[in-house]
Chain A
Amino acid sequence: MRRLPFAMLVSMLLAGLLTGCQGKKPDPGDIAGYDEGEQYLSIWVHSIEDTDEGRCYRKSVEAFNEKYNGTYFADIEFIPRNDSGGGYSDKINASVMSGDLPDVLTVDGPNIAAYASNGIIQPLAELTEEEKGIYLESIIEQGTYQEKLYALGAMESSVGLYYNKDILKEAGVEIPDADHPWTYSKFLGVLEKVKPVVEKRKGYALDMTFPVGESTIYYYAPFFWANGGDLVDDSGLNVDRVFNAKENVETIGYFKKLLEKGYMSKVPVENLFESGRAAFKFDGAWEVNTVYNSYPELNLGVAPYVVGDQWDGGRYTPTGSWAYAASAKTENIKGATELVKWMSGVESGTMLWEEAKCFPSTYRAFESIDIFQKDENYRALYSQLSDYGHPRPKTPVYPQVSTSFQQVMENCVLTGEDPEKELDKAIEKINAKLKRYKKG
């Protein structure tokens, strides 16, 4: 097979045009605050400046420049990202081609493996155990690919199993503690108990769907991990006999049971949980803030995520969010690592919580924020994150794994297809994408 010098040259030229030909580093004095003797570090973030989140990034960079005045100067660029992930990633793709990547960039957690295996980001400079120790284990796990640390989380997130306290009280259901969650079979018993209560309210025991997009794998992969299954192996390059393991078939069977027994609706019902007609709901950590602000009459609680009957006590709950990484292009990995550490550190994380209600990525930030100690729901989410947080599959073909997972859930649970057949079909698709990484 032949390489394509001409087409590549033209596309690089176009990519250069589209990325604004930013190849040239500014000289000291070109930008306010960038002085002689300072090392220049460019950083891209996936946000617009005029948002709570964007303002936090700006403030964090300014604080970095103040702290490292005379040594480093960080120059931040905001690149909007749309809901489907385009915009920011398009800019990165074009810059990979034109060679105009910044020194530091934000990467969505599940994409770290793809960026690392394609040489877009490089391992960070060595961090001491003490430096690493400030981050939640899930953050270090998420940022590590093939035993090298590539990224540190700007923020963390999780999914809660929310419940309506009034419904559970009426049904006479007690919530277990985080170390002894409901098992699959016990949870079925709980749902059976709450069913008559929610039926009186014209609702369902569970407010649950399998939407297209990232939510399905994010919310429901924990059911697979907590039942002894997995989606990819440790290398991230193999799914055979992993994605279609018998434990996964069993887990899908469990979800089918939830629908068959009428515990969930086949079609999504808007605000089912928020309107007090569902006993449980799986949703992102942001749901607590939404309920507190928009549905104050709802008596909200957070229960531990459900586990398989044979759960071994291992990590299994949802985690993962945007992280900072050093691009492969940076020649100043030490400086880039300092910037990554700063942007993901305690002060930046605390500010992100205060301004934008994003969960921080460090233990100290969580401990310094009052609400994570005083509010039982936030405390439960933090404890779930710190004790049982599990990153999403670390594989360079993550987008395909995520899409396939959603399709399997939708086709098997909602349409009634055979799980084994669907899992095998998904494996074929994932393997087709993995070919690229197995060549070498």
Chain B
Amino acid sequence: MRKKSQSLLGMAFFGPALVLLTIFLFLPMILTLIFSFTDFFALNPSLTHFVGLDNFLQIFQDEEFRKAFINTVCFVIIIVPLQGLGSLGLALLINKVTHCKKYFKVAFFLPVVMSLAVVSTLWMQIYSPEGIINSILENLGISAQPFINSSSQALPSIAIMSAWQGVGYQMIIFLGGLQAINPALYEAADMDHATPWQKFKDITLPELKPLCIFVFITITIGAFRMLVQPMVMTGGGPSHSTYTMVYDIYETGTVNWEIGLASTMAIVFAIFVMILTVIQTIATRDKEGKDVDKKAEKK
């Protein structure tokens, strides 16, 4: 009797969330999958037909989608090490700092709570031909750079800005991890006259490994979803150099009203991110396994 009432109570708490999740998450996901095989056009949904794999063939032949895909991958390749290692570096530095620790924590975390649109607008000024960076370069005798106005510099410029904006979040996570490491490990290392690099390599990094997996996966997924920065700063240009997959999905679905095609892109995108995340997880897990085995052998 008590079990039944507890189960009902559980359902009462869980039910509303389940209903909302079903309506706003699961059903749209299922519909996206169904629509990816159709020519669903938002302005005339009554003429929707099954088109089989046509949409999939179309998007892989589409030059813009291919370009968006390459841009997204390039962005991920730039930002993941930049933001991941940057946050780890900042966390290590702040962990060492004895004065104004709180100030540095807040200062580096502040951009995270700012709206991406605001940060993007701010950096547009910083990157502008007469902005602060070009003024500094000019004073150093270096010619002005076009940054977001150049097809070769726009993507790295956006990646640097994005890393600056997001680095504080991962820094806080790493900082938490660093503070949780048992100080006795470092004391023991000191007794063995270990160098700082050895301490970092053999204590800090292994202890932070689970956090590293989490941080790198979240940065990767976040980077794949990049939309606001190019939308505000470059409109996907110049010459489509900052046009990302999510931007393409958005434009196809809402500007050109091709919901069927946009759904296909979304499915391809989701599958790609899932595969990558699984690979990343397995690769890191294997290493962890090997580490455990090695440790066991040593013992």
Contact = CB atoms under 8 A, between A and B. Distances in A.
A243 B150 CA distance: 27
B151 interface: yes
Nearest to A414: B238
A17 B254 contact: no
B34 A115 contact: no
Given A270-B128, A410-B237, A11 B231 contact: no
B50 A4 contact: yes
B49 interface: yes
Given A3-B49, A7-B31, A84-B231, A14 B237 contact: no
4 tightest A-B CB contacts, nearest first: A212-B235, A267-B149, A1-B49, A118-B43
Interface of A: 1-4, 7-8, 10-11, 14, 17, 84-86, 89-90, 93, 96-97, 114-115, 118-120, 211-213, 265-270, 399-400, 403, 407, 410-411, 414-415, 433, 436
B38 interface: yes
B51 to A, nearest CB: 7
Interface string B139-163: 0000000100111000000000000
Interface in B33-48: 34-35, 38-39, 41-46, 48
Nearest to B147: A267
B111 interface: no
A132 to B, nearest CB: 27
Most buried by A among B41, B45, B256: B45
B48 A267 contact: no
B43 A4 contact: no
B48 A400 contact: no
Nearest to A114: B43
Nearest to A2: B50
A14 B27 contact: yes
B31 A400 contact: no
A1 B42 contact: no
Given A7-B38, A93-B42, 20 more contacts: A1-B49, A4-B48, A7-B35, A8-B48, A14-B27, A14-B28, A85-B254, A89-B254, A96-B45, A114-B257, A118-B41, A212-B235, A212-B236, A399-B255, A399-B257, A403-B251, A407-B239, A407-B240, A433-B256, A436-B41
B23 interface: yes
Contacts of A86: 254
B129 interface: yes
B44 to A, nearest CB: 4
B182 to A, nearest CB: 50
Summarize B's interface: helix, strand, loop or mixed.
loop
A436 B58 CA distance: 15
Interface string B248-260: 0001001111000
A1 B53 CA distance: 12
B95 to A, nearest CB: 41
A85 B255 contact: yes
A2 B38 CA distance: 10
Nearest to B34: A7
Contacts of A410: 237-239
23 contacts: A3-B48, A7-B35, A7-B38, A8-B45, A8-B48, A10-B27, A10-B31, A11-B45, A84-B231, A96-B45, A97-B45, A114-B43, A118-B41, A120-B43, A266-B149, A267-B150, A269-B129, A399-B255, A400-B256, A410-B239, A414-B238, A436-B39, A436-B41
B45 A14 contact: no
B190 interface: no
Interface bracket on B: 35 or more
Nearest to A13: B27
Contacts of A415: 151, 238-239
Given A90-B254, A267-B150, A11 B235 contact: no
A85 B235 CA distance: 13
A268 B149 CA distance: 8
A1 B237 CA distance: 37
Interface in B79-94: none
B244 interface: no
A25 B50 CA distance: 34
A133 to B, nearest CB: 32
Most buried by B among A11, A266, A400, A415: A11
Nearest to A90: B254
Contacts of A403: 251, 255
B43 A213 contact: no
B43 A115 contact: yes
Contacts of B170: none
A411 B237 CA distance: 10
A97 B30 CA distance: 17
Contacts of A3: 48-49
A135 to B, nearest CB: 26
Given A8-B48, A212-B237, A415-B151, A14 B31 contact: yes
B187 interface: no
B236 to A, nearest CB: 6
A170 B292 CA distance: 80
B54 to A, nearest CB: 10
Contacts of A399: 255-257
A298 B206 CA distance: 64
Contacts of B254: 84-86, 89-90, 93
A211 B234 CA distance: 8
B130 interface: yes
Interface in B226-243: 231, 234-240
A399 B130 CA distance: 33
Contacts of A14: 23, 27-28, 31
